[in-house]
Amino acid sequence: MEAAKAAIVNNRRQGSLQDSRIERAAAGIDQANAQIAAAQAGKEAVQADVLRTQEERTRQEALLNTHSTTQQKVETAIADERRLAAQAASREADLTQARTSSTVMNWRSKRKSAAKVFWNRKGCSFLPTFMPSRPDSRGPR
């Protein structure tokens, strides 16, 4: 009888542990979504500057062809365009990284939730065999 009571207490503790892991995963998902929003805003902010510098480069090159500007101004316009294009690429990489992080966090959260459901149903501490070990796994074939 005492062993059964101890097993019930242990099961409850394991359930609480799973709950706290799920809560941490949910907080991680919220953080990843905030990073996605920030990365998207950064990308959009630099995109307007990229467009402006592309137009300025075209304008300066046309002015140089009519001898109405200096080579230095054209070079400055080209440098500005390249710098902002590099920033745009960096912002795109930030966005990709944030989305990847979010995908992984969502997968971990789902896996932990599935483990908790399995734990509650079976009273054991291992994952079911149908649960993928990686986000890109499809389970047994």
Higher pLDDT, 19 or 83: 83
> Each residue of 55-102: pLDDT tens digit?
999 999 999 999 999 999 999 999 999 999 999 999 998 888 888 877
pTM of this structure: 0.54
User: 87 versus 39: which is more confidently predicted?
Assistant: 87
Cα 11 vs. chain centroid, distance in angstroms? 34
Angle at 86 between CA 81 and CA 91, to 5 degrees: 125
The Cβ-side half-sphere exposure at 45, using a 13 Å CA radius, reads: 10
Mean of pLDDT values over 98-113:
72
In contact, 12 and 117? CB cutoff 8 Å: no
Domain limits, the chain: 47-107
